[in-house]
């Protein structure tokens, strides 16, 4: 066996030899000694594995240094990178959810590059509160008495539960014990907040009397959860917030509603189905409402709580608020976003989420068409490329049963010795390996690029020449 090997371990240079080689000197300057050494160690280990497999390998320092550079560059690409989201899911949790408006991005860059008045009141020259202005804006926009913000909606729920229901009972309908994905489950959050979940009703039907029966001296609050990412159909019943609020008032416990998505706009004005707003839920008598910053609000990851001043004050006084508070990037991005909502007439143009949600199918078809021709030329012999009408979804639990007609490009691998699935995966991988990775989705035997979220396709189309599919 060893007699057939063309290379032996002993022919590989040592790490020191590699680091002292002429070929490494440029890399040492660029990346530093530790990083180059790490790359040398990994590259040599890869080469030893290749030799064990009986492959013949180049053992010269110059050739090995080329591999080392590749190791370093691959490592540098492992962090979060910008991608083109052509998956058809607008608020894709794995792809960073909402795309921030320019106002937010500009404001964040400005406060990051310098010091800022994060907790400093410039009028009096004394300490200020980081959430003050955001609270003002949220109250103006939702009509709530008070508001506070934390890291995400999961944190908002935890703060709310831990403040108002520690070691006490919280009735929740069995139809609302949702799992949102990414390890968020209502029962687990309630338990970890130090509260006792009291399950109420059945999976498909919960009545007011179920809540009434669950109320007792240990009840701290009632929680109603927006079902978000699923719908219950058929023989169903849920209790409206208004009735539940009445019952809670009689029992003198607060009603909190976790909306999840929480749009601040009436989506029907934009031709979309209705999504409940915090304003409506407060008007029905809820004492507190929580929602995410990066779902239908279209901003940064954050959790917003609006509602009764006395309850919000208790939350702000809880040390957990300090643990869960937002950093200056979030505060700044959210402030700029909420300021945009004060001028709603401009939102359809300035808020990326609303812009892409309201794009017409014709507009998207027109954008996809020249891209189809380019990709067809590029992928000739490997895949058939055609325009396709498809359906985008909003994602992140908003309007789960409502698709938005969209358009894009379908790529279907031509028959080959490889399996169809393997060819599809190769296509998908080739797009992920572009300088700005492109994420599509596999649907009924096609690799589909939904162009709804492709705003301005200059950079997208400029990189298509680099698409590489090995035959």
Q: Which is nearer to ligand PLP, 261 or 367 (CB)?
A: 261
**Site for ligand PLP contains 395 (CB under 6 A):** no
Q: Which is nearer to ligand PLP, 225 or 409 (CB)?
A: 225
Among the listed residues 68, 190, 225, 304, the single contact to ligand PLP using CB under 6 A: 225
**Site for ligand PLP contains 226 (CB under 6 A):** yes
Chain residue whose CB lies nearest ligand PLP? 260
C-alpha–C-alpha distance, residues 443 and 337, integer Å: 35
- Contact 41/75 with Cβ under 8 angstroms? no
Q: Which is nearer to ligand PLP, 327 or 363 (CB)?
A: 327
CB of 131 to ligand PLP, least distance (A): 17
Q: Which residues contact 301 (CB under 8 A, 6 or more apart)?
A: 97, 151, 152, 292, 293, 294, 330
Q: Which residues contact 375 (CB under 8 A, 6 or more apart)?
A: 385, 409, 411, 464, 467
CB of 67 to ligand PLP, least distance (A): 41
- Contact 328/131 with Cβ under 8 angstroms? no
Across-strand partners of 13? none
Which contacts qualify for 130-133: CB closer than 8 Å, 24 or more apart?
A: 130/325, 130/326, 130/328, 130/331, 131/325, 131/326, 131/331, 133/335
Residue range at the interface with ligand PLP (CB under 6 A); choices 13-21, 106-114, 220-228, 313-321: 220-228
CB of 227 to ligand PLP, least distance (A): 7
Q: Which is nearer to ligand PLP, 226 or 452 (CB)?
A: 226
CB of 152 to ligand PLP, least distance (A): 3
Residue range at the interface with ligand PLP (CB under 6 A); choices 18-26, 81-89, 225-233, 463-471: 225-233
Among the listed residues 210, 258, 287, 393, the single contact to ligand PLP using CB under 6 A: 258
- Contact 31/72 with Cβ under 8 angstroms? yes
Residues 173-192 that bind ligand PLP (CB under 6 A): 180, 184
**Site for ligand PLP contains 278 (CB under 6 A):** no
Binding mask 146-175 for ligand PLP (x = CB under 6 A): ------xxx---------------------
CB of 226 to ligand PLP, least distance (A): 5
CB of 430 to ligand PLP, least distance (A): 31
Q: Which is nearer to ligand PLP, 303 or 408 (CB)?
A: 303
- Comparing C-alpha atoms, which of 181, 143, 146 is closest to residue 278? 143
Pairing of strands 84-85, 438-439: parallel
- Contact 452/392 with Cβ under 8 angstroms? yes
Q: Which is nearer to ligand PLP, 142 or 153 (CB)?
A: 153
**Site for ligand PLP contains 397 (CB under 6 A):** yes
**Site for ligand PLP contains 260 (CB under 6 A):** yes
Q: Which residues contact 154 (CB under 8 A, 6 or more apart)?
A: 184, 189, 303
CB of 96 to ligand PLP, least distance (A): 12
**Site for ligand PLP contains 262 (CB under 6 A):** no
- How far, in Å, are 116, 119, 331 from residue 126 at the CA level? 14, 9, 19
Report which DSSP code applies to 95: G
Residue range at the interface with ligand PLP (CB under 6 A); choices 133-141, 224-232, 304-312, 425-433: 224-232
List the Cα angle 247/249/255 in 5-degree steps: 80
CB of 323 to ligand PLP, least distance (A): 15
Angle between the N-to-C axes of helices 61-76 and 33-52, in degrees from 0 to 180, rounded to the nearest 10: 110
Q: Which is nearer to ligand PLP, 192 or 432 (CB)?
A: 192
**Site for ligand PLP contains 390 (CB under 6 A):** no
C-alpha–C-alpha distance, residues 413 and 285, integer Å: 56
CB of 185 to ligand PLP, least distance (A): 10
Q: What share of the chain is helix, strand, coil (3-state, %, to 5)?
A: 45, 20, 35
Q: Which is nearer to ligand PLP, 238 or 434 (CB)?
A: 238
Q: Which is nearer to ligand PLP, 198 or 398 (CB)?
A: 398
C-alpha–C-alpha distance, residues 236 and 270, integer Å: 29
- Where on the chain is the footprint of ligand PLP (CB under 6 A)? 152-154, 180, 184, 225-226, 228, 258, 260-261, 292, 303, 396-397
């Amino acid at each position: 066996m060893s007699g057939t090997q063309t290379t032996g371990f002993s022919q590989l240079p040592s790490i020191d030899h590699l680091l002292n080689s002429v070929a490494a000197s440029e890399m040492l300057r660029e990346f530093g000694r530790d990083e180059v050494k790490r790359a040398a160690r990994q590259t040599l280990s890869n080469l030893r594995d290749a030799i064990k497999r009986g492959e013949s390998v180049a053992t010269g320092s110059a050739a090995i240094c080329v591999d080392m550079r590749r190791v370093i560059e691959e490592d540098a690409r492992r962090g979060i990178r910008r991608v083109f989201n052509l998956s058809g899911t607008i608020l894709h949790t794995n792809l960073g959810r909402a795309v921030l408006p320019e106002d937010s991005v500009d404001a964040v860059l400005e406060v990051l590059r310098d010091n800022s008045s994060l907790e400093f009141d410039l009028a009096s020259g004394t300490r200020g509160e980081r959430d003050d202005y955001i609270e003002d804006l949220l109250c103006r926009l939702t009509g709530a008495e008070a508001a506070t913000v934390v890291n995400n909606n999961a944190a908002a729920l935890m703060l709310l539960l831990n403040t108002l229901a520690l070691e006490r009972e919280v009735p929740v309908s069995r139809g609302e014990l949702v799992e949102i994905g990414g390890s968020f489950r209502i029962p687990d959050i309630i338990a970890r907040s130090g509260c006792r979940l009291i399950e109420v009703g059945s999976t498909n039907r919960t009545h007011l009397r179920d809540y009434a029966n669950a109320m007792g001296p240990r009840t701290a609050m009632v929680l109603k959860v927006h079902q978000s990412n699923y719908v219950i159909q058929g023989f169903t019943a849920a209790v409206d917030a208004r009735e539940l609020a009445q019952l809670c008032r009689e029992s003198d416990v607060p009603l909190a509603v976790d909306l999840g998505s929480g749009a601040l706009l009436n989506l029907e004005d934009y031709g979309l189905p209705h999504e409940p707003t915090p304003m409506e839920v407060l008007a029905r008598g809820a004492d507190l409402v929580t929602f995410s910053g990066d779902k239908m609000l279209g901003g940064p990851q954050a959790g917003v709580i609006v509602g009764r001043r006395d309850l919000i004050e208790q939350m702000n006084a809880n040390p957990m608020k300090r643990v869960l508070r937002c950093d200056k990037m979030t505060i700044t991005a959210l402030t700029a976003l909420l300021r945009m909502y004060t001028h709603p007439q401009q939102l359809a143009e300035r808020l990326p989420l609303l812009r892409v949600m309201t794009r017409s199918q014709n507009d998207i078809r027109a954008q996809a068409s020249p891209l189809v021709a380019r990709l067809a030329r590029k992928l000739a012999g490997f895949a058939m490329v055609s325009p396709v009408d498809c359906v985008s979804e909003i994602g992140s639990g908003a309007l789960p049963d409502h698709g938005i007609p969209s358009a894009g490009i379908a790529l279907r691998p031509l028959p080959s010795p490889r399996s169809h699935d393997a060819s599809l995966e190769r296509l998908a991988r080739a797009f992920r390996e572009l300088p700005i990775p492109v994420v599509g989705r596999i649907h009924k035997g096609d690799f589909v690029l939904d162009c709804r979220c492709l705003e301005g396709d200059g950079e997208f189309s400029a990189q298509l020449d680099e698409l590489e599919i090995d035959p």
